[in-house]
Amino acid sequence: MAGDGELKLLGMWTSAFVLRVRFVLNLKSLPYEFVEENLGDKSDLLLASNPVNKTVPVLLHAGRPVNESQVILQYIDEAWPDRPPAVLPSDPYERAVARFWAAYVDDKVRLAWLGILFRSETEEERAAAVAQADAALETLEGALRECSGGKSFFGGDGVGLVDVVLGGYLGWFTAIKKLIGRRMIDPARTPALAAWEDLFRATDAARGVLPDDADKMLEFRQTALALGASKKITL
């Protein structure tokens, strides 16, 4: 069957895009080998597996590479249809809605996250990026209410596509909290989303994988800045 074969994930422990793949592999209880890549010295395997973008994550399934995080998530769902839970809804309309909001996260939240941590040269620029993130998260507060049907997750009763995509950023949100002095997902602004964050961090999918050490994240940030990684989507 399509799901047979050894799984190897090339990634970095800090990467929001790698984390979402790890969440889904954990959700489906799929065993895999995690290979930590070096931001400043990428392996020959990574360069050969993703010669176009040369970035993580790369999922190797029986030696065949699958690139780009959201593509990988959908591939896992399709390759292991008998391993619940499904990341994407079965209903075509609900599936389209989930893809829309996942794309929104990787557009609006990603740009604000990069601005706060990697592209701001002044406090004014960082404040503008924080405001951009607040606006995006306020929009996602409404999306959570719409998609969840009053339940805990964007996926309803359980974790779905939008949950793992947004959840991947939570490690960096821990670092941002130390920088700006408050939670990025602010309970005063977005109470439903703040409750979602607490629940997501406690899931089996995230536990032990999602970084929670702000100092280590900020130390990695300094390494990334020194390597000029702010111009690359490799984090």
In whole angstroms, give the CA distance from residue 143 to residue 154: 8
The pair of structure tokens assigned to 27 is 């959700």
Produce one character per residue of 56-95: b if its CB has 16 or more CB atoms within 10 Å, e if not.
Answer: bbbbbbeeebbbbbbebbbbbbebbeeeeebbbbeeeeeb
Judge residue 155's burial from the number of C-beta atoms within 10 Å of its C-beta, 0-12 exposed, 13-18 middle, 19 or more buried.
buried
pLDDT on residue 166: 98
CB contact at 8 A, 158 and 206: no
Q: Given CA atoms 196, 200, 203, 205 in this order, what sign does their dihedral have? A: positive
Cis upstream peptide for 57 (omega within 30°)? yes
Q: Could you tell me which residues come within 8 angstroms of residue 127 by beta carbon, excluding any fewer than 6 positions away?
A: none
Q: What's phi and psi for 109, nearest 5 deg?
A: -70, -40
The tens digit of pLDDT for each residue in 75-97 reads 999 999 999 999 999 999 999 99
Residue type, position 99, single letter: R
pLDDT on residue 181: 95
Q: Which parts of the chain sit beneath pLDDT 50?
A: 1, 230-233
In whole angstroms, give the CA distance from residue 2 to residue 15: 27
CB contact at 8 A, 16 and 168: yes
Nearest to 194 by CA among 184, 202, 204: 184
In whole angstroms, give the CA distance from residue 49 to residue 53: 10
pLDDT on residue 1: 43
- Rounded (5°) CA angle 91-210-143: 35
The tens digit of pLDDT for each residue in 180-207 reads 999 999 999 999 999 999 999 999 999 9
Percent of the chain with pLDDT over 90: 91
Q: Could you tell me which residues come within 8 angstroms of residue 51 by beta carbon, excluding any fewer than 6 positions away?
A: none
Q: What's phi and psi for 203, nearest 5 deg?
A: -70, 155
pLDDT on residue 230: 44
As a residue count, the chain comes to: 235
SS3 126: helix
Residue type, position 191, single letter: P
Instruction: Write the DSSP symbol of residue 153.
Output: B
The tens digit of pLDDT for each residue in 148-161 reads 999 999 999 999 99
